[in-house]
Amino acid sequence: MMSRPYNFSAGPAMIPMAVLEQAQAELLDWRGTGMSVMEMSHRGKEFTQIAEEADADLRELLAIPTNYRVMFLQGGASSQFSMIPLNLLCGKTQADYFNTGIWSQKAIAEAKRYCSVNIVTDSTANKFTTIADPTTWLLNPDAAYVHYAANETINGLEMHTPPDVGNVPLITDMSSTILSRPIDVSRFAAIYAGAQKNIGPAGLTVVIVREDLLGQALPFTPTMFNYKVMADENSMYNTPPTYTWYLAGLVFKWLKEQGGLVAMGKQNQHKSQLLYQAIDGSDFYNNAIDHRYRSWMNIPFTLADEALEKPFLAAAKQAGLLALAGHRTVGGLRASIYNAMPEAGVCALISFMQAFEKSHG
C-alpha cells in the first residue's frame, strides 16, 4: 500500500485508502461491464444494484427501522437547511432551533424564510464553547420540530446524546458525525448529512426521514426539494450523483469490515481522547470547549503565541500532516479526525505537536 500524508481536513476529508484503491481498480471497467460506474445509466441494472446495496448497507450500519426512508440527494447539507422547513412544518408555522454554532446559525437563517423560529438555547455569548443547562432551554410545545446540529464542525462542539425534547419531532444535522458511532435512529424524525466527511466524496447528501412525515410539503416547494417525490422515486426523480453514491457504498462496506459502528465509536472516542490529553497536558496548546461537549471528530486548538500558527502549519505540512488550519471564520488550528483517520495519524500529530512545543515553547 502506498504511503500518503495524513490529511486533517474538515471536509472534503480523508477517504479510506482501501476504498480509493478499489475505486481505482474498478475505474475503467466495473466488474466486466466494460464501463466505469461514471458512465452507466442510473436506471440500468448495474447501477441499480450498486444503489440498492449502498442503501441496504447504510440501513444495516445505522440499524435504520423500516418505517424510515433513506434518500441520496444532491445540494449538500446546506440545501437541507431549506428542505427541512419546506417539507416538515407539517401544517405548523413555528419551529425550534438550537443555536450551538455556525452551522446552526445557517440553518436558522434559512428556516426564517418559511416559519417563525424559536431559539431553544443560544451559545453565542459563550463563543460556542458550551451549551446551557437543559433546565434553561425554551422548548415550544407548538413547534413543528426541534432542529439541532449534532456536531458543530467549525467550533468542535458536539452533543453526544440527542436532547430530550418531549414529543416534538427531533431533526438533526449529522454532517460531521454520522457513522462515527451507533445512534438510535428512532429518536429522530429526520437525520441529514453531507457526504464529504464520513460518507465519501462531496456531491451527495444522505437524508433519513420517518415515513409518516412525508407528503405535507409547503405548496410552493420545488419538485427537486420535495422529500415525498424523491423518496417515491428512490432518489431518482432526476439523475442522482451516481459516482459519489457508488463511492459511499464502498465506504459503507469498508465500515462493515472494520466491525461496524460499535468498533468505529470505540476508535473515535479513543483517538479524540489521545489528542485532547495531549492538548490539555500542555500550556502551549489550548482547546476551550466544555469537556462534556468536546467533539470526537473536529478538534480545534490554539497556540499560546498566535504568531506561531503559520510556522506550525508550514512545519506540519513538511512532516506530512496536512490541512490543520482552523476554519477561515474562526482562525486557529483544527484537526478533523473522522473514521478514515487512523490512530497512527493522530499519534503522528501528537508527536509533531510535542516536538514543535520543545523547539518553540
Please name which of 186, 144, 148 lies closest in space to residue 168, comparing C-alpha atoms: 144
Please name which of 152, 161, 97 lies closest in space to residue 129, comparing C-alpha atoms: 152
103 among annotated binding-site residues: yes
Residue 77 or 209 with smaller CB distance to ligand PMP: 77
Shortest approach of ligand PMP to residue 175 CB, angstroms? 4
Residue 205 or 357 with smaller CB distance to ligand PMP: 205
Residue the block writes with cell 490529553? 277
Q: Residue with the closest Cβ to ligand PMP?
A: 76
| Catalytic status, residue 173 | yes
Which helix (H) or strand (E) covers residue 272, if one does? helix 260-280
Please name which of 262, 298, 242 lies closest in space to residue 62, comparing C-alpha atoms: 262
| Catalytic status, residue 317 | no
Please name which of 173, 176, 189, 223 lies closest in space to residue 67, comparing C-alpha atoms: 189
78 among annotated binding-site residues: yes
Residues 6+ apart with CB under 8 A from 90: 144, 213, 216
Residue 297 sits at the vertex; the CA angle it makes with 292 and 302, to the nearest 5 degrees, is 75
Residue 242 or 303 with smaller CB distance to ligand PMP: 242
Shortest approach of ligand PMP to residue 289 CB, angstroms? 15
Choose the catalytic residue: 57, 122, 197, 296. Answer: 197
Shortest approach of ligand PMP to residue 335 CB, angstroms? 15
Shortest approach of ligand PMP to residue 99 CB, angstroms? 13
Shortest approach of ligand PMP to residue 152 CB, angstroms? 6
Per CB under 6 A, residues contacting ligand PMP are 11, 76-78, 103, 149, 153, 173, 175-176, 194
133 among annotated binding-site residues: no
Residue 76 or 361 with smaller CB distance to ligand PMP: 76
| Catalytic status, residue 197 | yes
Choose the catalytic residue: 103, 245, 254, 296. Answer: 103
77 among annotated binding-site residues: yes
Q: How many CB atoms lie within 10 A of CB 68?
A: 21
99 three-state secondary structure: strand
173 among annotated binding-site residues: yes
Shortest approach of ligand PMP to residue 133 CB, angstroms? 23
For residues 92 and 144, is the Cβ–Cβ distance under 8 A? yes
75 three-state secondary structure: coil
Q: How many CB atoms lie within 10 A of CB 291?
A: 9
238 among annotated binding-site residues: yes
Residue 176 or 226 with smaller CB distance to ligand PMP: 176
56 three-state secondary structure: helix
Choose the catalytic residue: 122, 173, 271, 296. Answer: 173
Task: Tell me: cis bond preceding 12? Omega within 30 of 0 counts.
Answer: yes
C-alpha to C-alpha distance for 351 and 345, rounded to whole angstroms: 10
Q: What is the DSSP letter of 283?
A: S
Amino acid at 88: L
Residue 55 or 173 with smaller CB distance to ligand PMP: 173
290 among annotated binding-site residues: no
Query: What is the per-residue DSSP string for 294-351?
Result: B-SSEEEEEESSGGGHHHHHHHHHHTTEE--BPPTTT-SEEEE--TTS-HHHHHHHHH
Active site residues: 103, 173, 197
Q: Which residues are known binding-site members for pyridoxal 5'-phosphate?
A: 77-78, 103, 153, 173, 196, 238-239
